[in-house]
Structure 1
């Protein structure tokens, strides 16, 4: 039983920030890092299969398009789950909602471990998508609420570093266990289930959310005063996560094609390097203005994408390495800048819904464009598809950069 709730009392529900003055439990470092760990493990689990998709493709006999559809299947349920998370928060309460998400994530890992055909893969991704969608907004909002010093910038930094850390550690863990440990199709997912046990304990220790204050709302939606910031940061974040989605689906096979190696750890390491550079860039950019981060990140993102296109044409691993480092750095700065801008501008009683909406944009960027790449790869080959995708996305990055630069200069013009 939680020390924050008297014996026999029912958990109260409502938005996490609409609490009467003086009634909030004091934030603690343990709760803050427990929420961060839970978000990290959920993201690790959704990306453990990344280096295994090529093996599934060979074993179950499907095309690159199906690889992208399996990857993106969780987007089809993740986005509605994100949009409904604020409402579910009111109905279930934070603990029950997050415990349910952890349970669904464990079922998704189990479905992967038991997979005998592509249907199991789709089912596993759907379970993972519901889990991550329901948990992302409430956990990110909880990080802001529970940050011990009330530092929103630090909360945004931890949220973004944890997000890209989970995206990167998942493929690395999956590739390592699948390449060098027994039962390569089972052990990575057993490890994920084991990591979810402490996450469930961390969720159970989170403070109770009081009832909503009169007039407070938990509906997802963007307040009018926030729409310009949300649109610009959302567009930049969409493009940043389009690169991430490509790396999480087809770049491991791209690496294998360029290197001539089928090593699963190498495939996972390419994704991990992109996201390690993203995390390091965010740490280096901590404390800088949100727009400054975005204006620095977008040109690096465009440069990384163009180098990725050139790497295929030149069959150069060196160019691919440069593309990964530069693109990852740009991804991290763009992501941190966007989330910081939205986090700072969101009203406290709408933050969970606004952040959930921002994650809708990010996950759409991660999942939707790669389906088009999958179609193109099936028709014209993987290298050509990646080159076209990278070039078009780089041009779009420069377009968003130009728009942000004009908006940044407008007040002083």
Structure 2
């Protein structure tokens, strides 16, 4: 089935913009990515309360999170290539509408079915928008700097994952209607994003789009294998932190204050964003060789934190793991963004995001299943230890491959 037929690229609209107008569109697109990810994470500190209100187990909690990934991935595979053909705006406006419906679903939730429905809508929205927004940032970067565009995309994503839990926790803890107010505020913050997307130039490439299975451009296989492995491991950590760490932190602190759990969840993407800003301009290899050790050390500290019931150590572990993931993810995103063919830009980025988001699905469900048998603290400890070992192995393999390349030269 053909979705759309494109015309020649309308690059003139971008070239004729004044520097101020081009910069405004660029940062408007970055804000859209930020607020989209904020909206999908506002509910993070509320899941423990939902479990108590609706009477579901840690496994169901992880399934609510994982169903988001289950629809996000096919949405990425369909909408990313489609936006290359029909234009970014035609994909992004419906995606924002789906995100708004997802937020409304949380605000109206009266049982766990509403939560599943809201997460499905959010997954469809983020899947449709991720590749298109990242590609749009690259196209709109005023100086054509793909590395800077990748940095802004990564930091905006991390910012949304951090702002969401903290915003949700503060609003739910200190304002009336704790299960409605956070989503109402998030919807209000989405209005400027809709305006920003509505004013994007309708660029598209000269191609027709048809549904197809995921594919990697010729010559990018090794790059995808290296970048995708790191992204998978990093997002496995992100998925578990954002889903379970608020409850984990509340257990260690003995406090019911939502801000403690929300701040603990927000700390990881905050460290992720700061590390990316500090790492900007470094080579992909340097980012990777710094990021994997930090990620492994953070996970080891997370396992120990549960053993000694230390909230400060948990927070230190969160910072280390977040910084490590931020550097690893930036390394992969920068490499993929630079190598992606122009005519398949959003398509290739979407495939990379699929590899990353797969890490947020299965491992989270595994931790939920394990928590039912061993308890939450033990399940997180086992997960942290296993992923730390995998990070060390990935680092060793990367070092061996790099040495091999140097030797062949």
- TM category (shorter chain) comes to over 0.9
User: 1:52-79 CA deviation, whole Å, 9 max, x = no partner?
Assistant: 0000000000000000000111111100
Once the two structures are overlaid, the 10-residue window that deviates more, 171-180 or 93-102, is 93-102
* Root-mean-square deviation (Å): 1.9
Distance 2:211 2:88 in 1: 13
Quickly say closer, same or farther: Cα 1:216–1:226, change in 2 above 3 A. farther
Which among 296, 302, 306 is matched to residue 302 of structure 1?
296
Q: Give the secondary-structure state (helix, strand or coil) at the position aligned to 1:225.
A: coil
Match of 2:65 in 1: 71
Shift of 1:49: 0.5
* 1:45 aligns to 2:39 (yes or no): yes
**In the comparison of the two structures, how many residue pairs are matched?**
399
Distance 2:314 2:367 in 1: 18
Shift of 1:26: 4.4
Q: Are the equivalent residues in 2 in contact too, given 1:293–1:337 (CA < 8 A)?
A: yes
User: 1:104-154 CA deviation, whole Å, 9 max, x = no partner?
Assistant: 100000000000000000000000000110000000000011100111110
Shift of 1:21: 7.2
Which among 381, 393, 408 is matched to residue 399 of structure 1?
393
Which among 167, 181, 192 is matched to residue 186 of structure 2?
192
Match of 2:330 in 1: 336
Q: Are the equivalent residues in 2 in contact too, given 1:302–1:395 (CA < 8 A)?
A: yes
Match of 1:5 in 2: none
Quickly say closer, same or farther: Cα 1:26–1:360, change in 2 above 3 A. farther
Distance 2:33 2:325 in 1: 19
Provide TM-score, normalisation by structure 2: 0.94
Match of 2:9 in 1: 19
Q: Are the equivalent residues in 2 in contact too, given 1:13–1:89 (CA < 8 A)?
A: no
Shift of 1:251: 0.8
Distance 2:330 2:85 in 1: 31
Distance 2:13 2:106 in 1: 43
Shift of 1:324: 1.0
Q: Are the equivalent residues in 1 in contact too, given 2:303–2:382 (CA < 8 A)?
A: yes
Distance 1:331 1:53 in 2: 24
Distance 1:363 1:243 in 2: 11
Match of 1:387 in 2: 381
Match of 2:75 in 1: 81
Unmatched segments (≥5 aa) in structure 2: none
Match of 1:127 in 2: 121
What are the within-5 Å matches in structure 2 for residues 61-210 of structure 1?
Answer: 61-89=55-83, 92-210=86-204
Distance 2:147 2:318 in 1: 26
Q: Are the equivalent residues in 1 in contact too, given 2:205–2:343 (CA < 8 A)?
A: no
Quickly say closer, same or farther: Cα 1:20–1:193, change in 2 above 3 A. closer
